[in-house]
């Protein structure tokens, strides 16, 4: 990139001016309030657990949205290399966000609606189906 181009002056100041060096960004995923076009009516707050921890979310929103709003972005670890995985497509098409929900593995939490009392867990490996 050409730093001398005045179009890029804002960019050239970049990270030094942001006061937030790499690796020290604050957790910031929050719910939108003032939006020029959209209104987000207050939904009913429900409680659920993520790996045993109590978290609040909005009833009916995807589990992944509730987790993201609570600052949880790592949803599982890949089976072979154990690498952290979050959501990718958020519309139920890519299977990046599989978690165990109420004991059922491989739930696409980007589309699964949140309900009061759900037990959401980071999935280990490929997951096991509960068999009665």
* Binding-site string for other proteins from residue 93 to residue 112, where x marks contact by CB under 8 A and - marks none: xx---------------xx-
- Residue of 50, 85, 105, 107 interacting with other proteins (CB under 8 A): 85
- Residue of 51, 88, 124, 128 interacting with other proteins (CB under 8 A): 88
- Residues pairing with 53 in the sheet: 50
Whole-angstrom distance, CA of residue 115 vs CA of residue 132: 23
Longest dimension (CA), the chain: 68
Whole-angstrom distance, CA of residue 82 vs CA of residue 60: 30
Non-local CB neighbours of 131 within 8 Å, separated by 6+ positions: none
Asked whether position 131 contacts other proteins by CB under 8 A, the answer is no
**Closer by beta carbon to other proteins, 91 or else 119:** 91
Whole-angstrom distance, CA of residue 104 vs CA of residue 79: 17
Q: Which residues bind other proteins (CB under 8 A)?
A: 1, 7-8, 10-11, 14-15, 18, 20-23, 25-26, 28-32, 34-38, 40, 60-62, 65, 68-69, 73-75, 78, 83-94, 110-111, 113
């Amino acid at each position: 990139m050409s730093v001398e181009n005045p179009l890029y002056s804002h960019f050239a100041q970049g990270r030094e001016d942001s006061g937030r060096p790499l690796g020290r960004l604050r957790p910031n995923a929050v719910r939108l309030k003032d939006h020029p076009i959209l209104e987000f009516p207050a939904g009913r707050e429900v409680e659920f657990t993520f790996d045993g921890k109590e978290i609040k979310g909005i009833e009916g929103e995807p589990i992944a949205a509730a987790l993201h709003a609570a600052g949880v972005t790592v949803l599982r670890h890949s089976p072979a290399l154990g690498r952290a995985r979050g959501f990718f497509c958020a519309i139920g098409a890519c299977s990046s966000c599989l978690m165990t929900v109420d004991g059922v593995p491989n739930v696409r939490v980007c589309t699964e609606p949140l309900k009061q009392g759900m037990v959401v867990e980071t999935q280990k490996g490929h997951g096991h189906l509960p068999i009665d």
